[in-house]
Each structure stands twice: as C-alpha cells, then as structure tokens.
Amino acid sequence: MFVLELTYTAPLERVDAVLEQHVEWLQKEYAAGHFLAAGRKVPRNGGVILASGMDRATVERIVSEDPFTLAGVCAYRITEFMATTTAPALAQYREQLPS
C-alpha cells in the first residue's frame, strides 16, 4: 500500500486551473482499482491519496500522469507501507509480512 502526499508548489489559482482534469484522473485510477481514498489537506496546501494493488514503478508512472504533475503545480512524496492491520471494511487490503 502507498500513501501519496501532494504538496502544492504553485499558487491555488494555478492548482484550480487544472483541478477538473486532476479529478478526472483520480476517477480513472479509482475505476482501475488503484486508489482507495483521496482528499485535500487541511489547511489546503496539498492532498493525500491512498493507493493499493500495484508496485512502486506503477505508482510512479501513475503519479507522473497526474495533470497536477504535468502542470508543475505539485510535488509528490510516495511512502510505501505494509498494511498488516486494517478496519474490517478494508480487510481485503491487509498484507502479510514476509516470513
């Protein structure tokens, strides 16, 4: 599983100019089964996406296709972790530590 942390590197006016395309990109990745949740940080200086079901190279490719990345309005921090415990609703995403 991955935590994708976005930090805006441009004024909100520039972020908002590509927001609609970013939302379309998010919807495409939800439909592909890659994203579990996403939303704005509070205060609004970026966002967070939870992603699962792929390797790091795929995550990096997907991030490179984000309209925010293409417009140069955000930077990504990608953190991979092993989701060994979850809420019951997320049980299908639990991972086993290697033996």
Q: What are phi and psi of 75, to 5 degrees?
A: -120, 145
What is the reported pLDDT for 66? 98
Instruction: Tell me the pTM.
Output: 0.94
- pLDDT of 29-79, one tens digit each? 999 999 999 999 999 999 999 999 999 999 999 999 999 999 999 999 999
Distance between CA 4 and CA 12 in Å, rounded? 19
